[in-house]
Amino acid sequence: MGTTTEERRSWTQDPEGVKRDILSVAVSEFAANGFSGARVDTIASRTRTSKRMIYYYFGDKHGLYTRALEAAYLKVREGEASLDLDHLPPAKALARLVAFTFEHHRENPDFIRMVMIENIHNAKNLAASQVIRDLNVAAIDKLADICRRGEAEGLFRPGLDPVALHWQISAASFFNVSNRPSFSAIFGPELYDEKAQVCLRDQTVEAILAIVATSTGK
């Protein structure tokens, strides 16, 4: 496939913007079709570049998939970083983090689908990514700090495991998206209207706060 003058100008004037554009489309394509079903030609047709330049930037289809997976995780962690949790009291910090996680997952179903695809393949690509490991270490460190502060103030139970807490926060937020089709088919779609989703989010926040609270801190 040939390249246009406009495409060449984009590559030279804004290469990082072109990469972001490619990765955004790639996340959508891989989430919809999996690694095998996704087509680099389709990604190229929806971006400001060509298949040749995609391979130039990312090496091959596997390299593009890995970078797209990393970009999906980075979006979550950047959102968490923007919450400014360090300056909030621990209970409010945790409540804000839980609410953010619930809403982020709800608003980014492509992220959930990519994680589901990774689980089908035993997380082989995810486990091989140092970038994703580093991103998630930082997330656990932030949660551990909230737990330490809450314990120091006598509000949270001692000895909370931040990894287990992260699992509990993720569980409800992830299930809400991953199992929407099957849950709706069995029980109806009512839990997925806006009012019900806000209620579920608030109940999830309350449940996590109840898990961490001391008997006197409730």
* Residue range of the domain that includes 183: 70-212
At 50, which CATH number? 1.10.10.60
Q: Phi/psi class of residue 154: alpha, beta or left (left: φ > 0; alpha: ψ in -120 to 50)?
A: left
Average pLDDT of the residues in 38-53 = 90
Contacts of 18 (CB under 8 A, 6+ apart): 10, 11, 47, 48, 49, 53, 57
- Asked if 50 and 156 sit in the same domain, the reply is no
| Dihedral-angle region of residue 123 (phi above 0 means left; psi in -120 to 50 means alpha; beta otherwise) | left
Q: Choose one of 59, 80, 103: the last residue of a domain.
A: 59
Residue 110 and residue 28 share a domain: no
Do 37 and 91 share a domain, yes or no? no
pLDDT at 13 over 70: no
Rounded mean pLDDT, 91-108:
97
pLDDT tens per residue, range 159-168: 999 999 999 9
Q: Is 65 contained in some domain? A: no
Number of domains in the chain: 2
Q: Which of 34-38, 46-50, 126-130, 173-177 has the lowest mean pLDDT?
A: 46-50
Residue 64: inside a domain, yes or no?
no
Task: Kindly report the CATH number assigned to the domain that includes residue 140.
Answer: 1.10.357.10
Contact 144, 90 (CB under 8 A): no
State whether 79 and 53 are in the same domain.
no
- Would you state the pLDDT for residue 9? 53
pLDDT at 47 over 90: no
Question: Looking at residue 133, what is its pLDDT?
Answer: 92
Mark whether 85 and 40 lie in a shared domain: no
120 in the same domain as 46: no
Question: What would the mean pLDDT of 46-72 be, rounded to a whole number?
Answer: 92
Q: How high does pLDDT run on average in the chain? A: 91
Q: Over the stretch 22-31, which tens digit does the pLDDT of each residue have? A: 999 999 999 9
